[in-house]
Structure 1
Amino acid sequence: MWNNTIFRLHFIVFLWGFTAILGKLISADAATLVFYRTGFAAIFLFLYFRFVKKQSIRIPQKRILQFLGVGVFIGFHWLLFFLSIKKSNVSITLSCMSLATIFTSFIEPIFYKRKLDWLEVLLGFIIVCCMGVIFQTQFQYMWGIFYGILCAFLGSCFSVFNGKLYGKASAGNIIFYEIVGSWLILSFFYICTGQISEIVKINSQDLALVLLLASFFTAFPMYVSVELMKYISPFTLILTVNLEPVYGIVLAYFIFGQSEHMGSLFYIAALVMLLAIIINGIMKAKRRKTLAQNELKATKL
């Protein structure tokens, strides 16, 4: 059972890593890509919950507005993610995602009212230094790096706000309304800019790839990740998700060839960032275990 769970976990992280590959293969602009991705993903989730799980999506209006609002963050996160890929490449974008850790270390204490963790600050300093090396060696991808950094920041905001809403409704309903919120903000963008006609210009090949992206690489892994939380700890999930850039960069290296071949300093900096994040996760897990053991001893006394 445990081996099967771990295999499923790595499989969905592999799927998330592959979304960057699809983002580069799809020729449509980033906004159109995200508009269709979120729209189709919402439809797939609705059909699944309604006809397969026989689960109602009805929740209090107050909660709907909260989930839709948080969905705006993931919508812009995805938009910037694909903008970064199109302005640079898969390797640069996925490396920028590592900055989400440092952003979270500063955002989370504000909303959860806890002290700043100096271990996370140190980790953040190491990651920023590594990103500085990447920026200097890959300056031609300046805008891609800029969009990637903003993408990581919004991803951190989404994670923190999503954590505050956990348990307010079923996991399926939360995911569904957040994706709907992402689609609504993209629709609002097209209506306000008068570019609604641009949506229909997507070609058949791109449409087929977006359908694949929305179903097998978005709706499916998001739902499975929530289901896996019944069997694994959040730490195991987060630690494994850190492998997403590894899967994506390796795949991009072999699929796209020369355009994804980076200098040795890039790979050294990316490796140091990944190791820093993994070490941080392991140390946190040990710290929590020690704290739990001390609390248990105190109750026995």
Structure 2
Amino acid sequence: MSGKTCSTFGAVRTSEKQAMLLLHLCVFIWGFTAILGNLITLRETVLVWYRMGITSLSLLFLPAFWRGIRTIRKQDAWRIASVGIMVSVHWVTFYGAIKYANVSVALTCLATVSFFTSLLEPLFFRARHRFTEILFGLAVIPALYMVFRFTGSYATGMIMGVFSAFLAAVFTILNKRLTVSYDPFSITFLELATGFVFLGLLMPVYLQWFPGTPLLPSGADIGYLLILSLVCTTLPFILSLISLRHISAFTANLTINLEPVYGILLAMLFFHEQDELQPGFYLGAGIILVIVFLHAYIRYRQKKKQLVV
């Protein structure tokens, strides 16, 4: 093998390693979003309103946004906007799950996104359900019941968490079609900006339901919101796009599935949530996470087999 070939191979391997490190960094940072959501004293709707506003504003400073925004057709812009409303409700229910339960419960519920996706995607694309998808979907139910059984006092938070996961699955499927035609930066900006406007219009009604809700963040909340919006949203979004150029979709999905693991470990470190949750909860959460990774591996094997055939 020539020296030139060796150096090229080494460069490729290095770029893959760097991409993997970048993606793990992104997932670790995403794990912090739940921690910050718990630290911020604002209610979930106000919190998400600020997060969407700050993040969408930061995307305006990216050159890629201005290149892509001009290409979006009006008809598709309305579709993207509707997905943005869904994203806003997803975030509100996710942070609601944290406020009404805790970080560990919210992240365990969020781990079911891949199963909702596997069950809903064939309906959107008019394809047949695979037996393995149904089997894994059914396997999650007793694990969720186990989590619910040992977190009965957090029932409201758990329901919000599962609904948040369902919404995440729906908008992930819808975004899959949109990202084929348009730049991810532009789509993300339109979705976040629409969500910001939607929650702003909804705010007077929300304040009627929850009178006395503070709208202005404290000094500490301002710092946490900036970290949440810029460091934990805009930055990992850019880094993840860079890393995805060098690694496979399977590796990416498997790595992203680590977010609940990182988040739950961070919740133990910051909030000592293991003291308020019984071992049965962690058993149920562990079963869900094992099913998630096993499901991702089997899907990868099935796709690989199809390519060989």
Tell me whether the two structures share a fold, i.e. TM-score over 0.5.
Answer: yes
Aligned to 2:25: 11
RMSD between aligned residues? 2.0
From 38, 48, 67, the counterpart of 1:34: 48
Aligned to 1:89: 102
From 264, 267, 270, the counterpart of 1:255: 270
> Structure 1 residues 213, 190: CA separation in 2 closer, same or farther (over 3 Å shift)?
same
Question: How far did residue 60 of structure 1 move?
Answer: 2.5
Q: Is 2:57 the partner of 1:43?
A: yes
Q: Secondary structure at the match of 2:42?
A: coil
Structure 2 unaligned segments of length 5 or more: list them: 1-14
Structure 1 unaligned segments of length 5 or more: list them: 295-301
Contact 1:71 1:182 in 2 (8 A): yes
Aligned to 1:285: 300
From 165, 172, 183, the counterpart of 1:170: 183
Distance 2:50 2:275 in 1: 26
1:144-199 deviation digits (Å, cap 9, x = unpaired): 10110111111111111111212221111111111112212211211455669967
Count the aligned residue pairs: 292
Aligned to 1:67: 80
Question: How far did residue 57 of structure 1 move?
Answer: 2.7
Q: What code does the residue aligned with 2:37 have?
A: G
Question: How far did residue 253 of structure 1 move?
Answer: 0.3
From 214, 239, 242, the counterpart of 2:229: 214
Q: What code does the residue aligned with 1:37 have?
A: R
Within a 5 Å distance, the mapping from 1:97-246 to structure 2 comes to: 97-193=110-206, 200-246=215-261
Contact 1:21 1:252 in 2 (8 A): yes
Length-normalised TM-score, structure 2? 0.89
Q: Secondary structure at the match of 2:272?
A: helix
Contact 1:102 1:124 in 2 (8 A): yes
Question: How far did residue 228 of structure 1 move?
Answer: 2.6
Question: How far did residue 142 of structure 1 move?
Answer: 0.6
Q: Secondary structure at the match of 1:47?
A: coil
1:26-84 deviation digits (Å, cap 9, x = unpaired): 0000011000000000011111237xx87453232222222111111111110001000
Contact 1:86 1:144 in 2 (8 A): yes
Contact 2:68 2:183 in 1 (8 A): no
Q: Percent identity?
A: 30
Q: What code does the residue aligned with 2:24 have?
A: H
Contact 1:252 1:260 in 2 (8 A): no
Mean Cα displacement is larger for which, 35-44 or 92-101? 92-101
Mean Cα displacement is larger for which, 184-193 or 206-215? 184-193
> Structure 1 residues 246, 193: CA separation in 2 closer, same or farther (over 3 Å shift)?
closer
Mean Cα displacement is larger for which, 222-231 or 39-48? 222-231
Length-normalised TM-score, structure 1? 0.91
Q: Is 2:69 the partner of 1:57?
A: yes
Question: How far did residue 99 of structure 1 move?
Answer: 2.0
